[in-house]
Structures are given as structure tokens and as C-alpha cells.
Amino acid sequence: MVMRYFGNKEDLFTLAASIDLALPDLTTAPAGEVGRAMVGHFMKMWDSDGTLMALLRRAATDPGAAEQMRSIFATQVAAAVAPVCPDPSQAPRRAALVAAQLIGIALGRYILDLPPIIEMDADEIVDWIAPTVERYLTGPLPEPTST
């Protein structure tokens, strides 16, 4: 697939380096709608961006592609979520949780073809996932548990 669409891995990585997630300005989202804005944006991206999907497929087996995916999500998602986090120093951690959630949905829906996720339309997935992403972005830190 990489050869077909991108020529070779190096060309894919060059293209991937220029992937702009075009994340929405989350500070303009109404209170309680930040998660919905983020998940809705990603559902549109996964449905329309073949480059991002090809990178996700490759990242599962290629360390270079995985690093590229990490870089894209760490820089762009962290920058987008920092202004809405209660403590901006927590932005990298919160962004990583959001990325894991969104990449997991993409993996289940578009790569593993999990029937229950495939059967949902994008709006239903947003309805399910947005509250979790909202909590990751704007909620209080969890209380530590003692063992």
C-alpha cells in the first residue's frame, strides 16, 4: 500500500512529516463541548485522510512510522489541548490519553474492522467517546489510589 500511494517508506515519512491535523481552536468550543469538538474533528479526518490512515497502518509494524505518528500527536494535539487544560503542564499527559483513545477508535474501525464500531455512524461514535475525551481534557486529575 505504501509503495502504491507513496512510492517508498521515505516518501511516506516525508509526507507524514507535513501532516497538519488542522485541529480546531478548542478555546472557542462551548463549555462541555471540547471533547465533542475534538472527537468530531478526528472522525472527519479518519474518514477523509488517506495519508493519516496509511501512516497508522504502517505505524503498527514500523518503528519509524510509529515515531512519526507519536510526533504528530505529541506536538499538535498537546498544543491544541494546553489552553483548555486546568493545568497546562498536564497537556502532554492529557494529549496522550486523547491520542490513545482516538487512535484506538481508528484502529478498531478502519484496520481491525470490529463490527460493532463499523456499524456505528460517526455521530454515534462521537456521542460515545466525547464525554471521555472531555474528561481527559478538562476534568480534575484522578485521586491517587493506595495499594
Residue 95 near residue 83, CB atoms below 8 Å: no
Residue 4 reports pLDDT greater than 80: no
The residue assigned the cell 516518501 is 11
Please name the residue that has the C-alpha cell 480534575: 140
Other C-beta atoms lying within 10 Å of the C-beta of residue 51:
14
Q: Compute φ and ψ for 63, nearest 5 degrees.
A: -60, -35
User: Would the pTM of this model clear 0.85, i.e. be above it?
Assistant: no
Tens-place pLDDT, residues 95-138: 999 999 999 999 999 889 999 999 999 999 999 999 999 999 99
The pLDDT score that the predictor gives to residue 66 is 86
Q: List pLDDT tens digits, range 54-96.
A: 888 888 888 888 888 888 888 899 999 999 999 989 999 999 9
